Structure 1
Amino acid sequence: MAQHGTADPFQPGASTTTHQPAAPVRQETRPNVLIWMVDDVGFGQFSSFGGLVDTPNIDRVARSGLRYTNYHTAPICSASRAAMLTGRNPHTVHIGGHATAAREGFLAHDARIPAGAGTIAANLNAAGYATFALGKWDHLPNEEASPAGPFTRWAQGQGFEQFYGFMAADADQWNPVLYRGTTPVMKPKGADYHVSADLADQAIAMIDQRSAPGEQGRTRPFFMYWATGAAHAPHHAPKEWIERYKGKFDQGWDAARAAVLKSQIAAGLVPKGTKLAPRPEGMPAWDSLAPDERKLFARQMEAFAASLAYADAQFGRILDRLQERGELDNTMVVITSDNGASAEGAPGGLYNEAEVTSAKPPSTAENLAFYDDWGGPRTYPHYAVGWAVAGNTPYRYFKQTTHEGGTRVPLVVSWPKGIAARGAIRQDFAYVSDVAPTILDATGTPLAKVVNNVPQTPMEGQSIAATFNAAGDPRGGRAQYVELYGNKKLMWQGWSLVTSHRLRTWDWQTAKTFNEPWELYDVVNDPGETRDLASSEPERVARMAAEFDRQVQPRNVFPLFNLADTGAESVMRGRAEFARRGGQWRYAGPVGSISSGLAPPVIARSFSMTVAIDNLTPGATGAIFAQGGQMGGIGFYLNQGRPQFILNDLRGNSVSVTAPAPLAQGKADLHLEVARSTPGADGKAEFDVTIRDGERILAHQAVRFALSPYFGLSEVFGIGGDAGSPVLRGYEAGAPFPGRISDVQFDFK
């Protein structure tokens, strides 16, 4: 249960208490549980937390329950989601950072959640709950995130009966790569498709269709984990929603921070006298910006706000359906974010989030070229650093850092039948691993001793169910460490001991030593971390540093490493796989939704490809192979029957080599040869492309083009289809090839 009072803040062992479940709740009175895991949303972005984004449905839940202002999470998505669902610390469950940066041989970072760390879903499902997961699922190793499995760490291997969503850190909201269970599926048809609405449709259907097996007329309680892509980049929203925010952010991020802070103080969310954190590197004063910069940056925030507000409206549809069914009062609703607002859009923002890897970020003029389309299907945008800082008001820094802006996020909990408080604020310390034991307490579910025939380890989180009935002291609670790629932190009864190791989070290549000094902040009296007290409190620093070391040692946190180290290892693994295959990739027939790390290296090397085609429909259009999409992609298609090789850059520019005549009906033995030169100073390489049918040359042409080595987190490779954003404009994403494909072979030089 939650700890309160004024216990010795340096009491050894304060962090070792584990979950002790409450007395079982009667079957017919057990609450439903609905978690909305929002993505990359900071403390000051919900309107119920003083934010300037209208979130009336989140506010509706807040009015009926509790707002927690001292809730912390891991500073990156994979780690926080794994911790929330298992009730254990991120490093304990082997996801100390992001799963895409997993490291072999590092137990805290190999992304293989142990079987002994069963999830909330596994526990509740064993206790009779229907369990559903929708949306983002990205906390598993890269090599397991493909239709080939293994599926142990997919949602349905982690206690969920049903899953509908995407297996990546983000999604093209217009053209997501979707799975139902473990099977790739096409998105529903419709010109106005958006994944947030789709996820709400699916959630409502799952709620309506559940029933207790063999028990007519009885409905099982449910546990639903609803994890939208919003408001992670790309910030996609319907145009009419973006227009609703036209002009709302013209005052800029400095004025926005001041307005949000004023509202937060008035609402009692932060104490009177709270000062804003200082501007970080990369965030200019709004008044110093040129008119074009202000115009661009305001538009960036309009798209973000619309993305979050639109998702809130879809969440409201789920609440409305529960209300119609008479179930909302006995549903425990939990709304939170996986980490603070993201600064990965760099100082100027990005019309395409994949540009974060470019040696030279897009200029204001280059970004402004996409102004009218910002937030629509022709962009994959991310906002500038200044909006991330404003989104985390009043806290310092942002996602990926261990300062308050990276780890302190909103938490809203409502359960009308179980929580008497309405619209109350709780200042009790809570951590992301506390969510699971709290839900087990609320549902009266004992922690299972065995899950899938594997004995279970104790949950490290602590239930905060006691706070449902009584407010505690922000100086109460246990000590809790946080670490991410060399950024360190210990939180202990209102104090934060933290390092500033990697702060330019948009720079993936940042590499330093790990000798940054400890900083000490009293975050009860100075939430914005404006006064470093390390020099005046050396004894507190020493004792808190010792507690940090005590907590991390058994969890394999050391040795520390930089994010850049993981990139080098990815390259080495790719080379090893290339050598193992002898430069050959073979496929018997169509495959789809293969993550870029498992795809043949068509982006990086010269290659030849052969494919046998049969039962061909004359004049048909379809993907033979494709990787990426409209803003960064490579593909080989039939376009109205004509073989066509396509290259797209990150700005949506495209070149192609196309046969002048369509293939004849029946069979074809296609050969594609792509010889590429080393890129020049302009970033462009020469691609010498030959397309043959048997020995007959159909097309031969050399083109110069700048092909990015990175298309984005959500883009995939496929044969016989093109899931996600299509490489060929106008092609129906995911549509199967109009014929039979077999004997596909790639040979690389």
Structure 2
Amino acid sequence: MSLKEYKPGSTFPGTIGRTWEQSSPAWPQPLRAKAGAPNVLFIVLDDTGFGHLGCYGSPIRTPNLDKLAKGGLLYSNMHTTALCSPTRSCILTGRNHHSNGMATITEVSLGYPGYNGTIPFENGFLSEMLSKQGYNTYAVGKWHLTPTEQTSAAGPYDRWPLGRGFERFYGFLGGDTHQYYPDLVHDNHPVLPHKTPEEGYHLTEDLVDRAVDFIADSKQVAPDKPFFMYFCTGAMHAPHHVPKEWVDKYKGQFDDGWDEFRKKVFQRQLKLGVIPPGTKLSRHDPDVAEWDSLPPEEKRLYARMMEVFAGYLEHTDHHIGRLLKSLEESGELDNTLIMVISDNGASAEGGPHGSVNELKFFNNTPESLEQNIAAMDDLGGPKYFNHYSWGWAWAGDTPFRRWKREVYRGGTTDPFIVHWPKGIRARGEVRTQYCHAIDMVPTVLDCLGVEPPQDIRGVTQSPIEGVSFRHSFDDARAESHHHTQYFEMFTSRAIYHDGWRAVCPFPGPSFTEAGEAFGESAITEERLRKLDAEGWELYHVAEDCSETKNLAQEERGKLIEMIALWYVEAGRYKVLPLAALDRAVFAAERPQITKDRKRYVYRPHTSPAPENVAVHVLNRPHSITAKVDVDGDAEGVLLSHGGITGGYTFFIQDRKLHYVYNFVGEREFHIESAMEIPAGRTELRFEFEPTGEPDLDAGKGAPGRGKLFIDGDLVAQSDISSTMPLLISLGEGLTCGRDDNSSVSTMYRPPFTFRGGTLREVVVDVSGEHLHDEQKERKTVMARQ
């Protein structure tokens, strides 16, 4: 007798008698995918411009991604939102970023439906949809889709990956992380890397290893069960980290600078057909220095920064190749629908001169050309948190204008590759149909023959806002089904409609032309009216894809039509009210999971407290008090916040009490007790008292005097003349009883876990007056996207 199954919720088809032998069984049917259903793999690169991949004309070697393009399709007209979290929300839900409440990153959320940083449950994730179709679902790498205040061990966890339909997760929750000392989360708990940089650790390799393992774990048990994997590298976001041998492959290859890079890439793009014949190279950006005008030492530095980026990208491609090879060797590659995309254009967050420690950039601390030149040989290694200058971002978006965070095509038009040998006949062809990140979900559902669910976990679902482009797979001449698409990012606006594109940059086409830097511009009703009257540009991108000929005057009627259409779309998708990143926006009150307090209690063996929820000690008097039972050989960290790029640490070493303040990786201020710590129950305290005001324009926090106390007795004091004004850490949070990942101080090797006694608790008191400048602090928030 064959096994009888029935759909859960339907009538039991067996028979039930008084005893087992008088009855016949039937079983609720297990959830199974359709026979032959393809695997789905999204590969999301970070901050990778249209002109960065080899198959898009770049001299940077990306053979594995190029191979996907050669064996599949390369799309030349794919668009994103110009920023990471908003785009990622589109990729996973098929809805626009404002519909997802993800107008920007969650760190600058506002109390409006399109801006609250909280993706509603009625906007289901593809992972939630496919898990109901019998798929395994995995997320690996960068997330950055959980409200900032919900990323600590206190949760809630319903908007972590496992709360949004992914069965397994391994990666990091924030916008970026150190590639050698990452802030890792496995499922719902933090973990440490399994080896050190000295032992060869790098995050990209680790992510690929874990991705391969996730797939293999399931396939060895259920080989016919398909998977959906959302694989997101930390690359190519800063820090640009890669072993030196990869960097040296490109030595000297960028010595002719970003202007020549653009020209060469542009010619390759024309030859490859990724841009239409007759396309013009967009203008030299007014914010970018002419390469030939730079002094020789700056050229050497900037060229090396690009060598690091190039090595980083080739290294990333190499490890993606390992993932693809594992699929090929297991026989899964041909029936895996792969989509490769970048979340936005190349990043200009390194500023005009680049950075060897982005913590300086985020703290408004000036870069020293001399220090940066001295660091050149170590760029790419774990010592620095480096980012190239924005001339290379501009070049990476060839042939388009501008970069990430802005809505010219340099910010919104990105590489996109589709590979599915079993489902696509065409090989190595270019597709020009207009597409947007919101189209990925409906295309996948179309390929799988699956209708969008009416409800997920009892929540009625909103309509999918993207459209499928599956019809373009085998028909290069097929018309696009995506006719209209709005854009908005920090009040920069654009609208596409059937080959036309209107753009209203904010604060202007460039910072130079606007006379204002990013983050320094407020939007008012009066200014908005002026922008709508005078600030819009119009491009016929069907004939001028690189936006070189502004037709706003010649086609005034068309422009007015486009502006009106933008407002229609804005109303439909919750885009209003417009908000630039000015003082009022940054100072807006946001909900927290706990009330603000003046006393924070930390205990050993607990999870790290992320930067956004850890005690904020900058620019304010504060004390750190450790209650310890000390044995004769006690040593180790009592409390630590930050890492090699900057932070502070309070510890015992050689029977003495120590405090080290690491100012942006540049200088360590060390205070050491004059006496040894006695055995037994003791109270160890550090106090900081500001002796001056912070100078945020100079990138300096409040100077002060640090003091050490043992059982109430002053045992050491010293001035700390340089403190960080805005941000302590680039991801490495606060830990009690140890210093995880990279070490704050060179005086010990991490984790330097406390031993030789009992550390009961550490109390941080911040009841003194907090000196801060909200206007300058807002720049820090925006830097990490």
Give TM-score scaled by structure 2 length.
Answer: 0.87
On the 8 A contact 2:619/2:702 being kept in 1, the answer is no
What does 1:166-565 correspond to in 2, within 5 Å? 166-190=172-196, 191=198, 192-211=200-219, 218-359=223-364, 361-472=366-477, 477-502=482-507, 503-504=510-511, 507-512=518-523, 513-514=527-528, 515-516=530-531, 517-565=535-583
Name the aligned partner's letter for residue 97 of structure 1.
T
Distance 2:78 2:752 in 1: 44
Distance 2:231 2:238 in 1: 18
Distance 2:32 2:559 in 1: 44
CA-to-partner distance for each residue in 1:509-564, whole Å, 9 max, x for gaps? 34354333110011222222111001111111111111111111132211111123
CA-to-partner distance for each residue in 1:159-211, whole Å, 9 max, x for gaps? 10011111111111110111101101111114211101110111111111015
Distance 2:186 2:364 in 1: 38
* Aligned equivalent of 2:42, options 21, 35, 44: 35
Structure 2: tracts of 5 or more residues without a match: 1-30, 769-785
Are the structure 2 counterparts of residues 324 and 380 from structure 1 closer, same or farther at C-alpha, using a change threshold of 3 Å? same
- Range that drifts further, 670-679 or 170-179: 670-679
- Range that drifts further, 67-76 or 671-680: 671-680
Distance 1:370 1:132 in 2: 38
* Aligned equivalent of 2:101, options 90, 94, 99: 94
- Range that drifts further, 373-382 or 157-166: 373-382
- Per-residue deviation, 1:295: 0.5
Distance 2:518 2:222 in 1: 56
- Per-residue deviation, 1:284: 1.4
Counterpart position of 2:657: 643
The ranges of structure 1 where at least 4 consecutive aligned residues each deviate by more than 6 angstroms after the TM superposition are: none
Are the structure 2 counterparts of residues 209 and 522 from structure 1 closer, same or farther at C-alpha, using a change threshold of 3 Å? same
Tell me the number of residue pairs that the alignment of Structure 1 and Structure 2 aligns. 718
Q: Aligned to 1:420, what secondary structure does the other structure show?
A: coil
- Per-residue deviation, 1:115: 0.8
- Range that drifts further, 258-267 or 461-470: 461-470
- Per-residue deviation, 1:597: 2.3
On the 8 A contact 1:486/1:562 being kept in 2, the answer is yes
Name the aligned partner's letter for residue 188 of structure 1.
H
Counterpart position of 1:675: 689
On the 8 A contact 1:79/1:96 being kept in 2, the answer is yes
Counterpart position of 2:168: 162
Counterpart position of 2:607: 592
On the 8 A contact 1:186/1:735 being kept in 2, the answer is no
Counterpart position of 2:777: none
Distance 1:217 1:554 in 2: 44
On the 8 A contact 2:60/2:314 being kept in 1, the answer is yes
Q: Which has the higher contact order (CA 8 A, sep 6+)?
A: 1
1:72 aligns with 2:79: yes
Name the aligned partner's letter for residue 48 of structure 1.
C
- Per-residue deviation, 1:678: 2.1
Are the structure 2 counterparts of residues 712 and 180 from structure 1 closer, same or farther at C-alpha, using a change threshold of 3 Å? same
CA-to-partner distance for each residue in 1:412-443, whole Å, 9 max, x for gaps? 01001111111111000000111111112222
- Per-residue deviation, 1:640: 4.8
- Per-residue deviation, 1:700: 2.8
Distance 1:119 1:691 in 2: 51
On the 8 A contact 1:134/1:203 being kept in 2, the answer is yes
* Aligned equivalent of 1:603, options 614, 618, 627: 618
Q: Aligned to 2:705, what secondary structure does the other structure show?
A: strand
* Aligned equivalent of 1:114, options 120, 126, 139: 120
Matched residues, percent identical? 34
CA-to-partner distance for each residue in 1:665-702, whole Å, 9 max, x for gaps? 65432222111222476746443222223234443333
- Per-residue deviation, 1:610: 1.9
Distance 1:388 1:597 in 2: 28
Are the structure 2 counterparts of residues 573 and 111 from structure 1 closer, same or farther at C-alpha, using a change threshold of 3 Å? closer
Q: Aligned to 2:609, what secondary structure does the other structure show?
A: strand
- Per-residue deviation, 1:656: 1.3
Are the structure 2 counterparts of residues 130 and 676 from structure 1 closer, same or farther at C-alpha, using a change threshold of 3 Å? same
Q: Aligned to 2:306, what secondary structure does the other structure show?
A: helix
Are the structure 2 counterparts of residues 232 and 33 from structure 1 closer, same or farther at C-alpha, using a change threshold of 3 Å? same
Give TM-score scaled by structure 1 length.
Answer: 0.91
On the 8 A contact 1:283/1:347 being kept in 2, the answer is yes
Are the structure 2 counterparts of residues 112 and 387 from structure 1 closer, same or farther at C-alpha, using a change threshold of 3 Å? same
Structure 1: tracts of 5 or more residues without a match: 1-23
Are the structure 2 counterparts of residues 137 and 684 from structure 1 closer, same or farther at C-alpha, using a change threshold of 3 Å? closer
- Range that drifts further, 372-381 or 229-238: 372-381
- Per-residue deviation, 1:593: 3.0
CA-to-partner distance for each residue in 1:575-610, whole Å, 9 max, x for gaps? x999x5452223355543323221211123111122
- Range that drifts further, 367-376 or 420-429: 367-376
Are the structure 2 counterparts of residues 652 and 107 from structure 1 closer, same or farther at C-alpha, using a change threshold of 3 Å? same
Q: Aligned to 2:149, what secondary structure does the other structure show?
A: helix
Are the structure 2 counterparts of residues 674 and 409 from structure 1 closer, same or farther at C-alpha, using a change threshold of 3 Å? same
* Aligned equivalent of 2:70, options 41, 63, 66: 63
- Range that drifts further, 495-504 or 199-208: 495-504
